[in-house]
Chain A
């Protein structure tokens, strides 16, 4: 039987499944299937390579890979070596990746074959020695010029990994470090420890009765914390993980049917896109038994359509910021009852996970009466201790609250209201953070890049278009730009920002409208967009 305690490591969960189900398929990726024993073997070789060559005090190993065997085995190998992992995304601009690597302080980097084309550029920017592990590369000669500062371990040089074990359990050991958009223009690191994820995984496995016959979707990029749900919930119980290929991400309906997926997890936008493309007819997903949505507000219309498409599935709306480890509240969709419980057409975020705590507070941190709007504050075993190497930001967001000073509370910045049934309902943000396809985006980060690219302080970004309460992108307004060259400015943005943060359009105005407080009037700008009054 599996050992259940708060310090049980994530790698122990995988290894025990590998012990119980060595011949069951653990992973289907890039057209290939790996059994638990073969994935364990590959992860063990990577773990041994880290242990033998990672002479570093850093608790983290970076994994620069994408939807490949190396991506998943690299994560397991990092955890097996007693390190947390830092996922890096080859779809992100190289400059951002280099910055994340430097901020994380990693000296060991696991590299997937799919990143080799960018490797030379990354090494050119790295001004510190790295140990690079390349599990799918046998010959480096064709890819790289001589790089004497760095050490390379190719597939043929990987140790055998025979002695792979889960080591000691420690709840405080690092699980992963993820970077989210930062309002100062610098990505913000959120370190999540093993105990945080263990609390989540145990609760979810119980709630959804996960078993070895389940087939999990793996839709999220690894830089998105919701991917940790797919990997660790799946492998904890010996189930199989199906990595959705890049080309199927937008319209995964055929993928779900072809692989008879039982456990679905995505942002609500995916349901919206499938519906618009008429790929969500009633009864089209009979294999699904659990459909989970998270990452952005879930419109009631999408939940209803998905429920009809997946009649054998429960539909749950999950909510949680990265700082509270994947998700921390849930709401079960009920076709009869739920439409009456939705607020502004948005499904409630529901109730807290068992054992986690919340407060709804006013601007002084005092709890507001039930029914009033306030900021959601979170505490409990899933909540992180603070930000990575950023004590000022940590003090600002991780606080003690009046009347509840015995514990640290994370201020989410999310405005919520508790309804009569006790469900939490999401209402918006206290700041300028938005979500695009589930990704957290600080508008200030986009504006910081735009200021630099445009050579003016007069910049502002606005979520647009917004459909069913969900932002599909961002547009920008600028003023006072000499020699305005939209294509050049956007190219500069694309060098620094991930594609979902690059404005879809930039409008040059004579001057930006101001409100009565002499602040830029974003409402007026939205009005211009709505009226279609812009060229």
Chain B
């Protein structure tokens, strides 16, 4: 097994991880950024729509463009990338305070990376139909919005021929426009809350632009279909008898995100039941495990990628202080 030693190991090469790595590497800390995907950028690479970077770069960029700028920043600062590599485990602190990360990749098998500070930047997962326990058939054609986004924007696969969006998170709204622009009519977006979850601009440019109805205070009461989705039944909360059946073969769930903390939990990091992210000291970003920091969507869900990047920079400064490099 190879042994690699760094000052800082960043787990996740998305909006947060890249920004953190750029800061620590620029300060002279030897920095490795680890990501399981085949290219750095995280979810930004599948977010081909514009709207990124207005705060951070003072320019409106698409997700891949935002990612490319952050990758350049981290690369120019001297960060080392380990892509196609998954972190399986973070060890307890050794006598010298360092942590051992167990890394797995197709190319090199199992490796150990030693780091003085670890920055968690793994982002989120999407909540699914299972989280909502929507009644009805368990047929094909039910996706999370982000999965459908990856299919369409990265793999170029059409997820179906007509769709209903459940929930009104930004990814779902963006996908309503993306599906429409791909020739897949979107029949409706259905939100159980009285107010939409996503940004007002996305309601305007992704639903209203195409005349897609948004049903608020409305629940999905049933999914029907034998092998494939055939229809979805919805009903307003204040009158459950006023059911409406919408025919479609595809359902996208856009019902929130959950910070992805399996790795953190295994490392003994205590999680906040409210945010599902690590408990951290305000402004310090250090978790309950010494030398392990957290930023971006793995800490709590951010509205904008720019905010995740900005938080990551503050977190990186804090990590640098902890190893005496600030």
* Chain B associates with chain A: no
